[in-house]
Every structure is written in C-alpha cells, then in structure tokens.
Amino acid sequence: MSEHQTLLEKLWSRNEILRREDGTSLLWVGRHMVHEGSHHGFAKIAQRGIPVAEPGLTFAVVDHYAPTRGRARIEDPNIGRMISTLEKNAETHGIRIFGLNDPRQGIVHVIGPELGLTVPGLLITCGDSHTSTHGAFGALSFGIGATEVSHVLATQTIWQKHPKSMKVTVDGTLGPAVSAKDIALNWIARYGADGGRGHAVEFAGQAIRALTMEGRMTLCNLSIESGARFGMIAPDEKTFRYINGREFAPKGCDWNKALEQWATLRTDTDAVFDRDIRFDASDIAPTVTWGTSPEQALPISESVPDPNTLGEAKAAAARAALDYMGLTAGRPIAGTPIDQVFIGSCTNARIEDLRAAAAVLAGRMSKVAGIVSSGSTPVKQQAEEEGLDRIFTSAGLSWVESGCSMCVGMNGDLVGPGKRCASTTNRNFRGRQGRGARTHLMSPAMVAAAAVTGTLTDARVLLEGRS
C-alpha cells in the first residue's frame, strides 16, 4: 500500500476484514440502516431461519412510505402493510425502530447524522442509493441491493470491490444564492451522469470546506447521480462540532479517543487519485435541470440546448427528454411555467434548506400549490420554533409531516400527469414523482422563487435587498 494514502484508502483499510485473491474485500459494517424497502432482506433470512447478526448495529426507519398527512389512520392498505411489516421485523429481531410516532422519526439519511449514528470512519450501508449522504462525515457509506441487505443482516459484513478514486476540488467562494445543490448539478452537467462511474469521489477545496454540514450532506447525496459509487468529505472541526453531544455520539473519554482517530481521516499530501478535476466556485450559478437526467442541467440564465449541438451520443436522449418535458430548444429556461413545487427529500430538507426557502418566500404568496416536508420531526419542530412554518403556510404552501414524500411518491404525495414541478429532490427521471410528471431539480431558494413567480426564476433577483 502507498505511503501516501487517500481518504478512501484509509477508510477501506480501516473496515476491511480480509481480501480475496480476486481483490474483493470483506468489509465490516458499522451501521446498517433499514427501512420499508428492506423487507426482501428480512424475508431471505427468515427463509433460512437466520437471526440478525448485530441488532445493536441495525436501525430501522419509517420514511419512504411515511404518510405526511393523516397518520392517525392510514387509509391505503398497501402503505399500511409496508410500515407494519418493518415494525414486525424490527420487533422480531430486537432492532431499534424510529417509527411514525417516534419524536426522532424522519428520512434515514437525515436522522442518522442528527442522532449521532453517523460518525467518521464507519462503514454505513442501507438499501437506498443515497446512503452516500453520510460520506459527508468522513464515513465509507453506500447503498446496497436486496441480496446484500440480507447478507449484512445475517453477517454484519459485505463483499465489495475497491473502487477507483476521484478528487473533485472546488476552490474560491460561491456567489449569492449559490448552494451545494448548484455545485452538484453543475459538475454532473459538465461530466455527465456517468462521469463518476466506478469511482469513489472525494470533495475538497476552499468552497467545500466553507460548506455547512448540511451543504456537505447535499453534495455527497448527489454524488450518486454522477454514477459514482459514493462520495465523501474529510472530517474537520466543523464535523466534530456537529456530532458532539448528539444522542448516539461517543461521550466522555470515548469522545476524546474518537477525536484522535477521526483527525487522521484525511488524504495525505502527495496522495495520488485515479482522476482529479477542479472547478472555480465563482463559475457556478443557480442551476436547474431541463431534461430527465440530472446531467441535463444548465444555469438559470441560459437557454434550453439544441440536441444537435450535444453530439451524436447524447442527441437522441436530449430529443426524447425535451419531448417528455414539453420544452423547446433555444428558448430560455427562465420563465418556464410550473404547476407546483416541492421542498423536501434527503437532499434538501434540513433546517438550512428550509431557512433558504423561507428567505425568498417571506411576505410573498405562492402562485402555485406546493408541499414543504421537513427531513425529520426534530427539523420540523425547529422550523416551527423559528416561525418558518408560518412563512410557508402564509405563502399558501402545505406544511406537512416528515418523510420522503414527493421525492419518490410511495406515500401518495404525487405530481399529476403532465404537470411540471420545481423540486428540491435528487432525481428527475420519467415518472419519478408520478406517472407523466415533469420534474425540474434545483435548490430550495430556487424552488421558492419558482413558487412566488409561477415560473422557473433566478432566486438572486428575489433576494436582492434581503439580508
């Protein structure tokens, strides 16, 4: 192994139990998060009569199917069945569950960090692709499939091939109303939805260090949309301050020991990456998607591209996307009418995100209907203490309970066929928010601006003169 190691190499060796001759590693899983979609994994170990190997390291969360309204009586039997199945599996195996009535309930990738379950150095897995969110804490964290879920449940280990390493450096200072969401959409648009394929991405640079932990989580969350296996950011004093004192975080002497270990989790000077790319933060503007892939994105000031200018490989996909989205090449993306808005998801539903949206909406009315769903019950309570909920409801938006909500629509929150939604979510695939739904991804401030104007709009204009 090289004397100068990347963060990836340090995390991998820290969690590696053994390595086969073909290079595949058996890794120890420090945290296994499960939710309603994990029922296949539980069914597999039930068929073999196998218990959960480490119930104390397994945490269940109701999020994807969590109703954001009417929780006292769930009318949809399918939703009720999915939630009750998770509850039964948790009870059977002695797993701690954060259910609908738990004051800590929320989206798994929001409450893990909130509770101090997410800490540097751990390998964290979940049957959800956006598990990469936890990499913002200097953790090795990625989504796994149903068969892998059952393997982790049964053994607390997972077999994985070591990915290549990529460093994405963003230096300089972000401009007003430019966020981590814009960084992510910008670099995915430049390098494509397969730009990170086969790699683990480490984000670094002045602009990354300046991000809050909420912003870092957003960035790592969206690393998956570049095709990367996962994303990560080296922990620093900002990371440690965020974790300190949280419910499951180390305490006392254990905290001091943990800090000593966590401080070593950074890429060594002169460590070599398989790929190294750089950006200047000043070149990044508020960004929105125009198509049906996160890579089909552009600054709000630009026009919908002509597929003929994108090269043969991407032209056909662009034509199909424009047809589905009902957009015309050459027209400015700004001013595109929308039908509704959504602020929420594991990408952008933390308190910082809600504050950013409220800064635009304060004292204004939304011209379209919309939902604001916090990432967790604690975030919802904090937002209400700060009066953010009153800003949203006064603007005419619905303030609902926490959960994945309209990001994937499993709980019944959907965008209607042919309707256009300005959304803070992570995916704009066909039908992602409902059959025939047209999704434009953007930051919370940009969604709020779209709500106020009824069109895709540059949030910077609406924030002028506001502190």
- From first to last of its 467 residues, the chain has per-residue pLDDT tens of 558 999 999 999 999 999 999 999 999 999 999 999 999 999 999 999 999 999 999 999 999 999 999 888 898 999 999 999 999 999 999 999 999 999 999 999 999 999 999 999 999 999 999 999 999 999 999 999 999 999 999 999 999 999 999 999 999 999 999 999 999 999 999 999 999 999 999 999 999 999 999 999 999 999 999 999 999 999 999 999 999 999 999 999 999 999 999 999 999 999 999 999 999 999 999 999 999 999 999 999 999 999 999 988 899 999 999 999 999 999 999 999 999 999 999 999 999 999 999 999 999 999 999 999 999 999 999 999 999 999 999 999 999 999 999 998 888 899 999 999 999 999 999 999 999 999 999 999 999 999 999 999 999 999 998 76
Q: How far is CA 14 from CA 31, 297, 385, in A?
A: 14, 37, 41
Contact, 463 vs 360, CB < 8 A? yes
Q: How far is CA 391 from CA 120, 240, 421, in A?
A: 36, 32, 20
Per-residue b or e along 375-393, where b marks 16 or more CB atoms closer than 10 Å to that residue's CB: bbbbbbebbeeeebbebbe
> How many Cβ atoms from other residues are within 10 Å of residue 170's Cβ?
26
Quick count: other Cβ atoms within 10 Å of Cβ 139?
A: 30
Distances (CA, A) of 151 to 17, 46, 93, 127, 157: 15, 12, 15, 12, 7
This prediction has a pTM of: 0.97
Tokens of 203: 């984000």
The Cα 47–Cα 45 span in angstroms is: 5
Cα 318 to Cα 334: distance, rounded to the nearest angstrom: 18
The CATH superfamily assigned to 7-275 is Aconitase, domain 3 (3.30.499.10)
Three-state DSSP state, 145: coil
One-letter identity of residue 263? A
Half-sphere exposure of 52 (CA within 13 A, CB side): 26
> Residue 257 in contact with residue 271, Cβ under 8 Å?
no
User: Residue 311 has what pLDDT?
Assistant: 86
- Give the model's pLDDT for residue 467: 66
Q: Which two tokens stand for residue 28?
A: 């120890």
HSE-up of residue 27 (Cα within 13 Å, Cβ side): 27
Specify the domain boundaries for CATH 3.30.499.10 within the chain.
Answer: 7-275, 289-463
Task: List helix spans (H) across 116-191.
Answer: 146-155, 180-191
Region 289-463: CATH code: 3.30.499.10
The token pair at 331 is 């027209």
